[in-house]
A and B are shown apart, each in its own frame.
Chain A
Amino acid sequence: MSFELRPMTRGDIDAVHEIEHAIFPTPWSRQTFAAEVSIGETRAWLVAVDGDEVVGYGGIMVIGDEAHIMNLAVREDARSKGVGATMLESLLASAVEMGASRATLEVRESNSSAQELYRRFGLSSVGVRPGYYSDTREDAVIMWGDLLARDAASPEAGQELILAIESSCDETAAAVMRGGTELLSSVIASQVDFHARFGGVVPEIASRKHTEAIVAAVDEALEQAGVGFGDLDAIAVTYGPGLVGALVVGVAYAKGVALGTGLPLVGVNHLEGHIFANMLADPTVEPPLVALLVSGGHTSLVHMPEWGVYHTLGETLDDAAGEAFDKVAKALGLGYPGGPILSRLASEGNENAIDFPRAMMRSGNYAFSLSGLKTSVINHIRNAEQAGREVDVPDLAASFQAAVVDVQVSKAVRAAQECGVETFCLAGGVAANPSLREKLHEALADHGIRLSVPPLILCTDNAAMIAQAAHFRFMRGGFLGLDAEAIPNLRLDSEA
Chain B
Amino acid sequence: MSGFETTGADATVALGRALAPLVRAGDGLVLSGDLGAGKTQLTKGFAAGLEVPEVVTSPTFNILLVHQGRLPLYHFDLYRLEHSDQLEDVDYWGTLEADGVSVVEWGDRFPEAMPLDYLAAHMTITADETREIVLSSQGTRGAELARTWLGACTGLADVVVRNSDSHGGDTA
Known: A245-B91, A378-B34, A378-B125. A205 touches B58 (CB 8 A): no
Which residues of A16-64 are within 8 A (CB) of B?
none
The yes or no answer to A347 lying at the interface (CB within 8 A) is no
The answer to whether A379 and B90 have CB atoms under 8 Å apart is no
Q: Name the residue on B nearest A170 (C-beta).
A: B80
Complex CA gap A336/B81 in Å reads: 11
Known: A205-B86, A205-B89. A243 touches B60 (CB 8 A): no
Partner of A379 from the list B61, B64, B66, B125 (CB cut-off 8 Å) is: B125
Q: Name the residue on A nearest B62 (C-beta).
A: A243
The yes or no answer to A374 lying at the interface (CB within 8 A) is yes
The yes or no answer to A169 lying at the interface (CB within 8 A) is yes
Distance in angstroms from A489 CB to nearest chain B CB is 7
Give the residues in chain B near A374, CB-CB below 8 Å. Answer: 35-36
Give the residues in chain B near A320, CB-CB below 8 Å. Answer: 57-58, 61
Give the residues in chain B near A208, CB-CB below 8 Å. Answer: 89
The yes or no answer to B41 lying at the interface (CB within 8 A) is yes
Q: Name the residue on A nearest B55 (C-beta).
A: A317
The answer to whether B62 and A297 have CB atoms under 8 Å apart is yes
Give the residues in chain B near A298, CB-CB below 8 Å. Answer: 61
Distance in angstroms from A166 CB to nearest chain B CB is 16
The yes or no answer to A344 lying at the interface (CB within 8 A) is no
Q: Name the residue on B nearest A207 (C-beta).
A: B89
Main secondary structure of the interface of B (DSSP, over half): loop
Give the residues in chain B near A488, CB-CB below 8 Å. Answer: 62, 64-66
Complex CA gap A472/B36 in Å reads: 42
The answer to whether B57 and A205 have CB atoms under 8 Å apart is no
Give the residues in chain A near B41, CB-CB below 8 Å. Answer: 371
The yes or no answer to A316 lying at the interface (CB within 8 A) is yes
The yes or no answer to A106 lying at the interface (CB within 8 A) is no
Complex CA gap A208/B62 in Å reads: 16
Known: A316-B57, A488-B62. A245 touches B89 (CB 8 A): yes
Known: A205-B86, A318-B57, A371-B41. A327 touches B64 (CB 8 A): no
The yes or no answer to B128 lying at the interface (CB within 8 A) is yes
The answer to whether A379 and B36 have CB atoms under 8 Å apart is yes
Complex CA gap A204/B90 in Å reads: 12
Complex CA gap A164/B41 in Å reads: 38
Partner of A323 from the list B34, B61, B66 (CB cut-off 8 Å) is: B61
Known: A242-B62, A317-B55, A383-B128. A205 touches B81 (CB 8 A): yes
Complex CA gap A330/B35 in Å reads: 9
The answer to whether A315 and B61 have CB atoms under 8 Å apart is no
Q: Name the residue on A nearest B60 (C-beta).
A: A323
Distance in angstroms from A363 CB to nearest chain B CB is 14
The yes or no answer to B1 lying at the interface (CB within 8 A) is no
Instruction: Pick from B9, B63, B81 the residue with the most CB of A within 10 Å.
Output: B63
The yes or no answer to B40 lying at the interface (CB within 8 A) is yes
Distance in angstroms from B28 CB to nearest chain A CB is 19
Q: Name the residue on B nearest A326 (C-beta).
A: B60
The answer to whether B40 and A318 have CB atoms under 8 Å apart is yes
The yes or no answer to A331 lying at the interface (CB within 8 A) is yes
The 4 closest A-B pairs by CB, nearest first: A297-B61, A375-B36, A378-B36, A206-B89
Given contacts A319-B57, A371-B58, A489-B66, 4 further A-B pairs with CB under 8 A are A320-B61, A330-B35, A378-B36, A489-B65
Interface residues of B (CB under 8 A from A): 9, 34-36, 40-41, 44, 55, 57-58, 60-66, 80-82, 86, 89-91, 125, 128
